[in-house]
Structure 1
Amino acid sequence: MALQFIGIDPNTGDDESPTVWVDQEKDELVLQGWKPSPELEAECAEFTVPGHAVGIPEHEAVIRIPARMVPMIREACDAVERADVR
């Protein structure tokens, strides 16, 4: 796996580190964030979308990332779309 570091929450402390990377081999965003509260996870699990099973599959996770990291997520989206990443 060839991870390209994009950024870390600028307000991070020693015990928190929401982070954004790009997996250059798989053309994927890799996000590290906070675990949701049980209430938020339950709400996400109950959300219905046509053509999508209700619930969160065992191999998936809900994470929380602060809105202040949107510029990093945009940068990661741009990086994964650029030809030089592929």
Structure 2
Amino acid sequence: MAKELAPGLWRLDIPLVGNPLKNLNSYLIAGERNLLIDTGFNQPACREAMDRQLGEIGVDLTRTDIFLTHLHSDHAGLSTYLHRPGRA
């Protein structure tokens, strides 16, 4: 479940199935243009959790940029799934 930490700042809980860390905290800064920070593994459970929580918040991915804190697969895995060709 997405949790609003402050106005326009959301924490998304992304499960990391099979990983001892258990979950990843992804963050969304909502505004005229959104910023999604980290994404989770490219696995069905991560995709489902990300899609569900972005839907709860009402995020328009065409107005969303992605920032990866580093390139480990638990932070960057869903970036290609979330990216849409032609977005600036």
Q: TM-score normalized by structure 1? A: 0.37
Structure with bigger gyration radius:
1
Higher strand share goes to which structure? 2
